[in-house]
Structure 1
Amino acid sequence: MNQKTICGGIIPMLVLVAAMVSHVYSQPKNNAEQVTMELIGQVTNPSPATSIQIGYLTYANGLESELFTGVPNNETNALLTFFSDTVTTRVINNGTIRTINRRGTFMIYLDTTPNGDFADPDTFRDGSPVLTADLRHQVIVDTITSAFTATFTLTVTSVEGFEIGSQYTRLGRVGQKLRLTFFGHLNSPGPPSGYISGMMIGS
């Protein structure tokens, strides 16, 4: 068998393998203003000094597989959930506007047996962690309407690859900076303390 025959057989095989790998593994590159994830959840404030934000992902850039195991799509059948645990560092009142700063940890989990229940926050962190980030966030509350926005600055500290359907992916990379913005409304009396929906942007 001559060299041309060997090369002629190997090159198409390498092309095929590369195509298969690119189909199975996905970690999209995002620009600074691209929406990478969309999230829905609730807020619970166990005390004036602490707050947790829990919920699930409805979209993740690059993932073509369904993120829910049933319909209607909600927390009970979501495969990707999040849990954010924060401590209040400062509160400033400015007329009818209240500004709250917090620090903490944000985590996303893969839950292959979904059981999300907003009455039990721990059900949103009983899966396998796939992304962990340090966070700082600012909440701006309109004390008249009870509407608020919360902006999270996230720095990814660890990621794990995972598979949904036939697709293997990672949601980020260590050191990556992400910006998460939630729009919400306070709920009184709770629980929950509030309802939130938002999006993640990152590069």
Structure 2
Amino acid sequence: MHIHPIAGVVWYAIGRFYEALDGKVQDVGYFALLGDVEGPLFNGPPGEASAFFTFRAEPFTPQHLTNGDLTVSLDPVGRFTLYFNPEPCGDFSAPESFSVGQPIATLQRLSTVVGTAVGPLSSNLFSAVLCSSEDFHFRGRTWNLGRILPGGITQLGTGSTAALQPPPTGYRSVTAFVGSAMALGGEVRAP
């Protein structure tokens, strides 16, 4: 029996932001927890190369401003897709590897995301609604994220401001982040 609390953590995401040479940014990564999907969620030791569930955002162009010693990033409304890959192949040196497999859900951020960086850390908070979801088969069961997070999510992210070296070809910089999300309640629809 699965108990769904009114407000509870529905995912832990581990990922990276990639800034392309043209200034567009996208984030990719994998999940260490995904609702009540029974694990393990890895095909071997935990990490991007063994993760069955990944995500990739559509590229977006952030705006930047400064407030004292804070650097603020304004990220526009955009979408990201979650994937199930029965043969995990995530590789942070190849961002496209996180969009291999079956698309199982697409979410859209509800508004501009304000990210703040000071010193070695950055943070952001955003909500996203579920636009679509598809059944997928994992460990002998059929799952659908529409049943797990029907109203979408609110995620708090923490990242590093230190660029990882070297960035993949075509990218100016890469930074690491983690995100914890809680399910939104009620009926919320994408604009």
TM-score normalised over the length of structure 2: 0.82
Which residue, 147, 163, 174 being the options, matches 1:188? 163
| Aligned residue number for residue 76 of structure 1 | 49
Cα separation, 2, equivalents of 1:107 and 1:161:
14
Distance 1:34-1:155 versus aligned 2 partners, 3 A rule: same
State how 1:19-98 maps to structure 2 within 5 Å.
Answer: 29-31=4-6, 33-47=7-21, 49-71=23-45, 73-98=46-71
SS in 2 for 1:157: strand
| Aligned residue number for residue 19 of structure 1 | none
- Equivalent residues, number: 174
Cα separation, 1, equivalents of 2:26 and 2:104:
19
| Aligned residue number for residue 160 of structure 1 | 134
SS in 2 for 1:112: coil
Shift of residue 41, structure 1, vs aligned partner: 1.1
Q: Where is the helix percentage greater, Structure 1 or Structure 2?
A: 1
CA contact (8 A) 1:37 1:58 kept: yes
Cα separation, 2, equivalents of 1:157 and 1:65:
25
Cα separation, 2, equivalents of 1:64 and 1:112:
14
Does residue 140 (structure 1) correspond to residue 116 (structure 2)? The answer is: yes
Cα separation, 1, equivalents of 2:89 and 2:135:
22
Which residue, 153, 173, 176 being the options, matches 1:178? 153
Does residue 198 (structure 1) correspond to residue 179 (structure 2)? The answer is: yes
Q: Which residue identity lines up with residue 52 of structure 2 in the other structure?
A: L
SS in 2 for 1:76: helix
Cα separation, 2, equivalents of 1:120 and 1:153:
27
Q: Which residue identity lines up with residue 116 of structure 2 in the other structure?
A: I
Q: Which residue identity lines up with residue 196 of structure 1 in the other structure?
A: F
| Aligned residue number for residue 10 of structure 1 | none
SS in 2 for 1:115: coil
Further displaced range: 84-93 or 161-170: 84-93
Identity of aligned residues (%): 22
Shift of residue 47, structure 1, vs aligned partner: 4.2
CA contact (8 A) 1:157 1:175 kept: no
Distance 1:34-1:175 versus aligned 2 partners, 3 A rule: closer
TM-score normalised over the length of structure 1: 0.77
Task: Point out the structure with max Rg over C-alpha.
Answer: 1
Shift of residue 133, structure 1, vs aligned partner: 1.1
SS in 1 for 2:82: strand
Which residue, 79, 83, 86 being the options, matches 1:109? 83
CA contact (8 A) 1:86 1:102 kept: no
Aligned CA RMSD, in angstroms, stands at 2.2
Unaligned runs of 5+ in 1: 1-22
